[in-house]
Structure 1
Amino acid sequence: MHRFGKARAGQDQSRIGGHRHRAAFCGELFAQRAGVQLTHVQYRGAGPAVTDLVGGRVHVVFVGFGAVRRHIVAGKLRALAVAQARRLQSAPGIPTAEEAGLPGFEFTTWFGVVAPKGTPDGVVSTLTRQIHAWQDDADVQKRLSEGGMEVLKEISVQFRERIRRDNERFRDVVKTMRLKPE
């Protein structure tokens, strides 16, 4: 993956998403870590970006696995890496970014449930149990896995720590992209 970025230096490399989209954020983090420059091309979602990738109009995009799965299976696209610590259960043949030559590169998207500060512990515990029960459902796990997602069961303390680590880790990317709170 790193060699791909270096080999294409100065060519029309692209990443997708609006300026504040997670794909653009991932592309910027990759560019910083790999020491390459990428041209930012804004798309209205992964669909048009993947269409341009399949059509050869862009050379690389940063998207969720669900957006490219069928093209990979059909042999139209090649996945260079997944940006997480472990290989995807649904696509174990795709290496992690670290395995592909970019040590420490990780960019995962997570979905969480939050409640207002001061929510009683009993309510938080009940919500946590109900969410974990939903996460245990085989159909839920299958559908998430097909989209390249995996279930993480975290309690509120672990989730708070994840948010803190992400904020710390992505501070430089936010500065480079000149993002400001709105």
Structure 2
Amino acid sequence: MIITSKKFSVEGSTALSPQKKEVIITEDDKYKKIKESQKDILRRKKQIQLKRQARIIAFIFITFIIGFTVIYRYSKIYTLQREFANVQDKASVLKSQNDDLNKRLMMYSNIDEIQSKATEELHMIEPDNTKAVFVDLNKNSVKLQKNYGESNQGKSIVEVIESKLFFWR
């Protein structure tokens, strides 16, 4: 059996005749109990205060993380919007350039204007079938020198490699 308080103690067997013995509490015991209870109260207050401080620090940390995340995302969104605006500007410039090129192409697509410009400004003449030169591109017109270096015909691959590596042979 565990004694939880010291008001009384039991000596001997309590089965036959339980006797209670009262413990005399002195002033020193009262003073010690009061001191211990005050220490317990102070310790509990400190624990509660530490828990509050821990909660406040955790709240500040979570707030900081959320704030940083929000600012980071807004900066990303702003960057993407700026890039999008730049791309739209470039697209509008390219579209206007494309329109200008289409206008110029329409101007020069008339065959009569091209022919008149070629004959008047560039002094070109119309081709005549009698003066045309026909070239057969399938014919090999380039001649190679056959006596360039040593001839490798009739040699095996090993002999060719040896002749390239060991040129003094």
- Report the TM range for the smaller structure's normalisation: under 0.3
User: What TM-score, normalized by structure 1, do the two folds share?
Assistant: 0.13
Who wins on radius of gyration, i.e. which is larger?
2
User: What TM-score, normalized by structure 2, do the two folds share?
Assistant: 0.13
